[in-house]
Amino acid sequence: MKLFSGLAGRLLVLLIFLGLGAGLYILMQPPKTSPKKASNHKEDIPLFTSSGQCQACHPALWNEWKKSHHAISYTNPEVRKLSSDFRQKECQDCHLPRPIFETGLTKPPLPRQSRPDEGVDCLTCHMRPDGRILGVHTNPKAGCKPLAEPSLASVALCKTCHNQHKTTDQWAASPFAKKGVSCNDCHMPKIEGKPGRRSHLVKGAHDLATLKSAARLGVRLEKYKVLVEVENKGAGHNLPTEERHRAVDVIYRILPADARPQPWSPTFTRLYRFRQPYLGDPGPNTQLPSGQTWKGSFEIPKPLQAKGTRIQVRLLYHLTPFQKDKEGSLLYEIEKVLP
């Protein structure tokens, strides 16, 4: 029997084409910029399709997010370079994610196909699969009608994307976890004078003040021996953490009393590097766990064992291990002079 024979068959084909046409028409409509009403709710609840829609009512918060690395996670040139412009598809999961409550906290997010310039956006963290906005409190009077979701402020939310290199596990083993200090207490701190507000800047390794808060550098002379210690006093996880590119160096130079040094000349010698090597590279993981202190030392050579000799020790943070010393972030410098 022929399927599409006769008038009935031709009508069926026509109907299929009409259906496809209507579908295409709907797909090609430009996205609406104002919130639509979700048809699946009895209540009058707006349906959000873009973070741009949050800007008008949450301007201060939106500006913080816009300055954050979350907002640039898909446009960040560093990420584009390493992912071959995201031809490596698996890089999209966390850098251009669908709402994480869709897949569930701590489970790998799914990649989304839209709004590349919004990266890890408001909807990623705040939208439930049915479109409802999740907050700390339920607030039927607010325009977005948020619902309270206790797990929003949990470490599990961050773990969804931040445990690929065990940052969340490092935190769980840290003194901060025992004291109940969570990711948000350091990375989304409360904003003074604005009850209930938390910063959405999520400052990290690109912010000098945050980096400085992580470490303490100590230098002591014992005759002609220089004793150095570095304490991870302020990071709730290893120092450095996450990206294998990151490196923290202890460097030093010894200058005769009459030397006229430039900031980076004569050059420094590296005493130690805290780092998790790239996969396949030799060497152990030398990241400094939270709350721990590393101790090292070096000797002042015979010809420089004289009054007035200056010993300079620096603690440097590198975004990549290939960065030259002078391109790193200088966290601390301590100078000692031989008596």
Q: Whole-number minimum distance, CB 264 to ligand HEC, in Å?
A: 23
Closest to ligand HEC by CB, 204 vs 218, is 204
Q: Whole-number minimum distance, CB 277 to ligand HEC, in Å?
A: 15
Closest to ligand HEC by CB, 108 vs 218, is 108
Closest to ligand HEC by CB, 226 vs 274, is 274
Kindly report the three-state secondary structure assignment for every residue of 245-301: CCEEEEEEEEECCCCCCCCCCCCCEEEEEECCCCCCCCCCCCCECCCCEEEEEEECC
Q: Whole-number minimum distance, CB 145 to ligand HEC, in Å?
A: 8
Say how far residue 331 (Cα) sits from the centre of its chain. Answer: 20
Q: How many CB atoms lie within 10 A of CB 9?
A: 12
**If DSSP codes are grouped into helix, strand and coil, which group holds residue 152?**
helix
Burial 131-152, CB ≥16 within 10 A → b, else e: bbbbbeeeeeeeebbbbebeeb
Q: Whole-number minimum distance, CB 216 to ligand HEC, in Å?
A: 12
d(CA 206, CA 329): 9
Q: How many CB atoms lie within 10 A of CB 63?
A: 13
Q: Whole-number minimum distance, CB 83 to ligand HEC, in Å?
A: 4
Asked if 191 and 198 count as a contact pair (C-beta separation under 8 A), the reply is: yes
What sign for the dihedral angle of Cα 322, 270, 253, 319?
positive
Closest to ligand HEC by CB, 212 vs 336, is 212
Q: Whole-number minimum distance, CB 323 to ligand HEC, in Å?
A: 12
Closest to ligand HEC by CB, 187 vs 314, is 187
Closest to ligand HEC by CB, 44 vs 258, is 44
As given in the structure block, the two tokens for residue 46 are 């707006």
